[in-house]
Amino acid sequence: MDPVRVTIWNEFIHERTDERVRAIYPEGMHRTIGDAIATLGPYAVRTATLAEPDHGLPADVLATTDVLVWWGHVAHDQVSEAVVERVQREVLGGMGLVVLHSGHFSRPFQRLMGTTCSLKWREDGAHERLWNLRPGHPVLAGIGETVELDEEEMYGERFDIPEPDELLMVGWFPGGEVFRSLCTWARGLGRVVYFQPGHETHPTYHHPEIQAIIANACGWAARRTRLEDVYAAPNTAPREPRPAAR
Amino acid sequence: MDPVRVTIWNEFIHERTDERVRAIYPEGMHRTIGDAIATLGPYAVRTATLAEPDHGLPADVLATTDVLVWWGHVAHDQVSEAVVERVQREVLGGMGLVVLHSGHFSRPFQRLMGTTCSLKWREDGAHERLWNLRPGHPVLAGIGETVELDEEEMYGERFDIPEPDELLMVGWFPGGEVFRSLCTWARGLGRVVYFQPGHETHPTYHHPEIQAIIANACGWAARRTRLEDVYAAPNTAPREPRPAAR
Amino acid sequence: MDPVRVTIWNEFIHERTDERVRAIYPEGMHRTIGDAIATLGPYAVRTATLAEPDHGLPADVLATTDVLVWWGHVAHDQVSEAVVERVQREVLGGMGLVVLHSGHFSRPFQRLMGTTCSLKWREDGAHERLWNLRPGHPVLAGIGETVELDEEEMYGERFDIPEPDELLMVGWFPGGEVFRSLCTWARGLGRVVYFQPGHETHPTYHHPEIQAIIANACGWAARRTRLEDVYAAPNTAPREPRPAAR
Amino acid sequence: MDPVRVTIWNEFIHERTDERVRAIYPEGMHRTIGDAIATLGPYAVRTATLAEPDHGLPADVLATTDVLVWWGHVAHDQVSEAVVERVQREVLGGMGLVVLHSGHFSRPFQRLMGTTCSLKWREDGAHERLWNLRPGHPVLAGIGETVELDEEEMYGERFDIPEPDELLMVGWFPGGEVFRSLCTWARGLGRVVYFQPGHETHPTYHHPEIQAIIANACGWAARRTRLEDVYAAPNTAPREPRPAAR
């Protein structure tokens, strides 16, 4: 089996400007996530960041990416329209997209959802419990009844997303909130996953079960085909009287 | 019961430039549809067209519209970004949107779906049979097993849309194609309906059952609330320890 | 507008055998719910209980019921197969069904879902917070961001149900659990709603917002058509060459 | 990778009583399907038939089955309640179920859907065209825009099923009908696929693309976990105040 070609995109700002974040992710979250995934299955990992030309996502990179992981927070509006459009087209043509945490407000995710993807939040570092609604689902392989995070930013409903195709986990917060924390949607020929944990000031991406879910999501959402001209709307000849049998 | 405030938007180009179309819809499709709907229930109908300032859809019109009906074809890219954005926001805040026929490629619909909404097509004026998958659904009130159209443009799958929340009708074409012809989705606090029939060179919008379905869709999708700031993502205080009982 | 014909079915055992429950619902929960609903809209309310002949649900009652509300707990297996089958058929033919609380394990609900509908539970009378995921949905008309219950039995995930067509509320419990508390599904021509609150030892059905949601659910799920022979599988003649235009 | 353990269940009556059917499937459809699947991937195939003790599906067989394929037609009511119940439980506990053609009226399928699964039909042996709505979906791996069958029984809408989680193919018939021909649902921890082609008097299961889709469906729906006591509804202790961090 060919390896799944994963590209992990990170805004990569907090890690360079905030001591607390750098202490947790000295080389950037993309490295932590990428290094973890690479040990968890047949994944060939590349990374890309905002500051690179084309944000590290030129057309040839996306065309050879099976699944794109996306983390962004303070610079969503610095992502160029060209790259947003390119990511959307690749997903509709078959690429997988795994959106993490504050990526809920990233433009590729908003573009694919058609909604604002807004939510409530609170940076109090309380704990979170994620409930597994679908044990045995490929994205939740190896995950038990709950995943426990010692500290995480609170994300609360109403999360303005289209009804997920599959709601896989719901988060519980001690402050009294709930959240649809792990969701999937099909868009065009591609698959989109949203996974809520991962605030930059907490060591969430060092957590083995969080790593496992991201790796699983990459495998599950990975591209199985590639359609190039997603906007084609062909004027077609009738199929009947039917063509000769093959 | 207050009337449902319907605004019917029409590109209104074919009717002014093509004799065949003018013969069928002398005052524009928006008038034919609007006049029909007004007789079918408590609907207060306004119309709006591309050539008007703000395409007839300034903020105050949308804010007082319960459901917007949309027909466009050759001028999708002449609709301003401001109006596209405004329509999307109003839908996410609670307004209904009923997209007709070639409106599949309209920017408000694409924006809300997150996909290309592409399809196959053929202008051969053959007939179409629409199968009713959900008798008794409010959008199909009064509609029997099938709706028969003597002549219609063929629209064929693959229709690049997110899996509908409800698939209400499937179209059959003698050339050998099928189409998901009547679909609904929730987006934010609003509801979106797509309904396939309505090529400009055929008298589809004079057909009583087509009129009834559009009227039903307007009633079903009509706004029930209005959220103004759809992008708000509030930083919220904990709800626990819980507030004193009320 | 004709009134919606609501039949409220209650097992009606706890209220006769348990002092605590009788103190809250002296005439039975069905009366409390029925009296409340009758004041909230054009609802014509009847009640039915387990001990009546046919459990109060003979064929003619169901045939003239637009929406059936169901509360049961300790006697699910005393409901006759004939009545379970009859309820299922009426729902598939267009009747609405609103299943309350411990009705999750009722046989009509299990039959319509196809799953066990099992869940976790704990009778500790702690409070519950219900989060509104779809403000403005007809079932949530008039309901704000949350509904607060001072005391309720805990129901926790995994709730073994098919992915809901619409997930409208998620419950939060101080013991650390979450629950999909308000869900809808289409089944056949009918609509099914499940609503979690309502343990017999708590005054949940005296709560105005809980009453409002049940009333809304009755209006939303109410029958709009009636198909008698739901199992018919007709051998049909071809539709093409097509019938003469009408 | 361990092979997927497939059990193919066939009523196996037509092949023994009808010359036309025996000519097409001399050893039974289960053999034709099984032999084909075994060549298409890592599938370990067993078969089972109605006439065997326990219909060939005792508890230990189901417990070691990853995906069950089901073909039945004239003897649905000869399948024992015990086996119907057992199949349902195994699916809810994680087993896959692939229901073929006239299996739409089989009791395991009806039980899992909660609806009648009725439809229209006509044995005229005309051709069918199946449209692929989701190229690249694992169940449609290797399948192009359409699959063409020279002769097949007509199955037409309204097909009384819950809205599928995924609608993968729609069938077109020259007599003027359409059908949701390839659908998936999650039920409990298991996955259910329905695939429409396969009338006994036509050589449908010799068709390479039909074989490929069935094999794909077996791989996609295959069990990934096994829950034994699917009806368990545990009384659980609070999770908060939370347990000490691990």
**A189: CATH:** 3.40.50.880
What is the average pLDDT across B137-159? 98
Q: What angle do CA D89, D95, D97 make, to 5 degrees?
A: 95
* Integer Cα distance of B67 and B97 in angstroms: 6
Q: Which distant-in-sequence residues (6+ apart) come within 8 Å of D95 by Cβ? A: D62, D65, D66, D67, D68, D190, D223, D226
Q: In whole angstroms, what is the distance from residue B145 CA to residue D176 CA? A: 13
When pLDDT is cut at 50, 70 and 90, the band that residue D99 belongs to is very high
Q: How confident is the model over A110-137, as a mean pLDDT?
A: 97
- Residue B131 clears pLDDT 50, i.e. is over it: yes
CB C196 within 8 A of CB C168: no
Tell me what the mean pLDDT of segment D52-76 comes to: 98
| Residue B139, domain member (yes or no) | no
Answer yes or no: is pLDDT of B242 > 90.
Answer: no
SS3 sequence of chain B: CCCEEEEEEECCCHHHHCHHHHHHCCCCHHHHHHHHHHCCCCEEEEEEECCCHHHHCCHHHHHCCCEEEEECCCCHHHCCHHHHHHHHHHHHCCCEEEEEHHHHHCHHHHHHHCCCCCCEEECCCCCEEEEECCCCCHHHCCCCCEEEECCCCEEECCCCCCCCCEEEEEEECCCCCEEEEEEEEEECCEEEEEECCCCCCCCHHHCHHHHHHHHHHHHHHCCCCCCCCCCCCCECCCCCCCCCCC
Peptide bond before A224: cis, by omega within 30 degrees of 0? no
Q: Which of D114, D118, D174 sits opposite C113 (nearest CB)?
A: D114
Q: Say what percent of chain C tops pLDDT 90.
A: 96
- Going by their DSSP bridges, the two strands C96-100 and C67-71 should be labelled as parallel
Percent of chain B scored above 90 by pLDDT?
Answer: 96
Q: Of D139, D209, D225, which to mutate for an interface test with A (greatest number of A Cβ within 10 Å)? A: D225
Per cent of chain D over pLDDT 90 is 96
Evaluate if residue C244 carries a pLDDT over 70.
Answer: no
C17: left (phi over 0), alpha (psi -120 to 50) or beta: alpha
**Tens digits of per-residue pLDDT, D160-205?**
999 999 999 999 999 999 999 999 999 999 999 999 999 999 999 9
Hey, are the CB atoms on D148 and A242 less than 8 Å from each other?
Answer: yes
Does A189 contact chain D (CB < 8 Å)?
Answer: yes
User: Which among B136, B186, B239 is the nearest to C225, CB-wise?
Assistant: B136
**Rounded CA separation A82/A85 (Å):** 5
Asked if the structure places residue D79 within a domain, the reply is: yes
Q: Is residue C167 part of a domain?
A: no
> What residue numbers bound the domain in which B203 lies?
4-114+180-221
Chain mean pLDDT for chain B:
96
Instruction: Please check the confidence at residue B246 and state whether its pLDDT lies above 60.
Output: no
Mean pLDDT confidence for C44-56: 98
Please give the biggest Cα pair distance in chain A: 70
Give all strands (DSSP E) within chain D, no chain letters: 4-10, 43-49, 67-71, 96-100, 120-122, 128-132, 146-149, 154-156, 166-172, 178-187, 190-195
Are residues B97 and B126 in contact, defined by beta-carbon separation less than 8 angstroms?
Answer: no
* Alpha carbons D118 and D113: distance in angstroms, whole number: 12
Of the partner residues C92, C122, C186, the one whose CB lies closest to the CB of residue D163: C186
Instruction: Give the pLDDT of residue C242.
Output: 67
What residues have CB less than 8 Å from A92, skipping those under 6 apart? Answer: A187, A188, A189, A190, A227, A230, B115, B116, B160
Q: What is the pLDDT of residues D137-146, one digit of tens each?
A: 999 999 999 9
Task: Provide the domain count of chain C.
Answer: 1
Residues A205-234: what's their mean pLDDT?
97
pLDDT score, position C224: 96
Report yes or no: B129 at the D interface, CB cutoff 8 Å.
yes
Cβ-Cβ contacts under 8 Å, A233 against chain B: 105, 118-121
| CB contacts, 8 Å: B239 with chain C | 129, 146
Q: Which residue has the tokens 């050759």?
A: B74
Question: Cβ of B245 and C135 within 8 Å?
Answer: no
Any D CB within 8 A of C186 CB:
yes
Q: Decide if C177 contacts D154 (C-beta within 8 A).
A: no
Beta-strand (E) ranges in chain A?
A: 4-10, 43-49, 67-71, 96-100, 120-122, 128-132, 146-149, 154-156, 166-172, 178-187, 190-195
The verdict on a CB contact (< 8 Å) between D129 and B157 is no
Mean residue pLDDT of chain A comes to 96
Nearest Cα to C65, choosing from C95, C94, C99? C95
Residues of D in contact with A148 (CB under 8 A): 242, 245-246
- Decide if B55 is inside a domain: yes
Q: Which residues of A touch B187 (CB under 8 A)?
A: 114-115, 162
* Angstrom distance (rounded) from CA B148 to CA B127: 8
**From A135, A227, A242, residue closest to D189, measured CB to CB:** A135
**C-alpha–C-alpha distance, residues C196 and C117, integer Å:** 12
Q: What is the CA radius of gyration of chain C?
A: 19
In a domain, A209, yes or no: yes
Residue of C nearest to D165 (CA): C163
Candidates B204, B186, B184; CA nearest to B194 is B184
Mean pLDDT of D50-58: 98
Give the Cα-Cα-Cα angle C78, C81, C82 (nearest 5 degrees).
120
Within 8 A of D180 by CB-CB distance, chain B residues are 170
| Distances in whole angstroms, Cα of residue B132 to Cα of each of B148, B169, B171, C223, D180 | 11, 5, 9, 17, 12
Q: Which percentage of chain C shows pLDDT scores above 70?
A: 98
Confirm whether A43 is domain-assigned. yes
The mean per-residue pLDDT over the stretch B68-75 comes to 98
Distance separating alpha carbons of residues A162 and B214, to the nearest angstrom: 23
Instruction: Give a yes or no: residue C69 inside a domain.
Output: yes
Give the ipTM of the model, two decimals please.
0.96
Structure tokens at D182: 């390839």
pLDDT value of position C243:
54
For residue C60, is it within any domain?
Answer: yes
- pLDDT level of residue C245 (50, 70, 90 thresholds): very low
Residue D84 has pLDDT above 60, yes or no: yes
Q: CB atoms < 10 A from the CB of A2, how many?
A: 7
Please tell me whether the overall predicted TM-score, pTM, comes out greater than 0.95 for this model: yes
- pLDDT interval class at C246 (50, 70, 90): very low
Kindly list the residues from chain C whose CB atom is less than 8 angstroms away from the CB atom of residue D234. Answer: 120-121
Contact A94 D242 (CB under 8 A): no
Of B166, B227, B239, the CB nearest to C129: B239
The b/e string for B44-65 (b: 16+ C-beta within 10 A; e otherwise) is ebbbbbbeeeebbbeeebbeeb
CA dist., res. C129 & res. C137, Å (int):
19
Residue A242 confidence (pLDDT): 67
Nearest CA-CA partner of B188 in D201, A118, D110: A118
Kindly state the tokens that stand for B204.
């589809």
Distances (CA, A) of B189 to A159, B156, C133: 11, 30, 9
User: C129: number of CA atoms within 13 Å, CB side?
Assistant: 27
> How far is residue A16's CA from residue B86's CA, in Å, rounded to a whole number?
37
Please report the pLDDT score of residue A120 as a whole number: 98
Q: Which of B4, B139, B146, B148 to mutate to test the interface with C (most CBs of C within 10 A)?
A: B148
| Partner D, chain A 68-107, Cβ-Cβ below 8 Å | 94
Q: Within a 10 A sphere around the Cβ of C78, how many other Cβ atoms?
A: 12
Ranking B196-200, D96-100, D162-166, D240-244 by mean pLDDT, the lowest is D240-244
Q: Does the structure show a pLDDT above 70 at B44?
A: yes
Alpha carbons B31 and B19: distance in angstroms, whole number: 17
